[in-house]
Amino acid sequence: MYHLKCASYMDVKNRMCWECGKVLRGRTDQKFCNGTCRNAYHNRKNSYNNNLIRHINYTLRHNRKVLDELVPADKNTVIVSRDELIARGFNFKYHTHTQKDANNKMYLFCYEIGILTTASGKVRIVRTADIRQTIPIPLVSRKKRKDKPSD
Ligand SMILES: [Zn+2]
């Protein structure tokens, strides 16, 4: 008896218009009561997705611009404080991809410019020629490498 009640409740719940919630009495696979409700539903869904994508694209482009302005034109790397990035509106939650350098350090990239939080809590910014180029090895690591016996 309980099962029957449950099933009929689910039936009613699943048989409502996805847009206006009106009970549907047509085909068993019907989702909307009419074309107006179908269009309204899809327009709202698309508008939400478009706004979401626009917001993320804007944030990524802004992040890239902030990093690009901080790296001197004649260099491919610079170290700044986190506060400097935050003050310029950099959003640490958004990046396009990740890439490890030769020392296995994980950089977060916004297009062709990557960031790495250093041991001291500062942020190293590295500009690559394009996103397929490997990350230039920072000067500190080059020194360490020199100390090791060469093979
Ligand atoms: Zn409807």
Read off the pLDDT of residues 21-40 as tens digits, 9 standing for 90 and up.
999 998 999 999 999 999 99
Q: How far is the CA of 142 from the centre of ligand 1 (A)?
A: 66
Query: In the 8-state DSSP scheme, what is residue 40?
Result: H
| 22 part of a folded domain | no
Q: Which residues have CB under 8 Å from 79's CB, separation 6+?
A: 118, 122, 123, 124, 125
Between 100 and 138, where is the model more confident?
100
Please give the distance, rounded to the nearest whole angstrom, from the Cα atom of residue 34 to the centre of ligand 1.
6
In a domain, 64, yes or no: yes
Residue 130 lies in a domain: yes
Query: 144 in a domain, yes or no?
Result: no
Higher-confidence residue of 145 and 18: namely 18
- Rounded average pLDDT over 46-69: 95
Query: How many angstroms is it from 80 CA to the middle of ligand 1?
Result: 55
Full-model pTM: 0.68
Q: 6 CA distance to ligand 1 centroid (A)?
A: 24
- Give the ranges where the chain is alpha helix by DSSP (H): 2-14, 35-70, 82-87, 139-147
d(CA 141, CA 135): 12
Q: Does 3 map to a domain?
A: no
* Ion ligand 1, residues whose Cβ is below 5 A away: 17, 19-20, 22, 33, 37
Please tell me the predicted confidence (pLDDT) of residue 131. Answer: 58
Return the pLDDT at 129.
76
Q: Is residue 19 part of a domain?
A: no
Cα dihedral: 83, 86, 88, 94 (round 10): 140
How far does the centroid of ligand 1 lie from the alpha carbon of residue 31, in Å?
8
In a domain, 4, yes or no: no
Dig out the tokens for 131 from the structure.
């996103």
Q: What's the domain range around 47? A: 36-137
Structural domains counted in the chain: 1
Give the distance (Å) from ligand 1 centre to CA of residue 37: 5
Q: How far is the CA of 40 from the centre of ligand 1 (A)?
A: 9
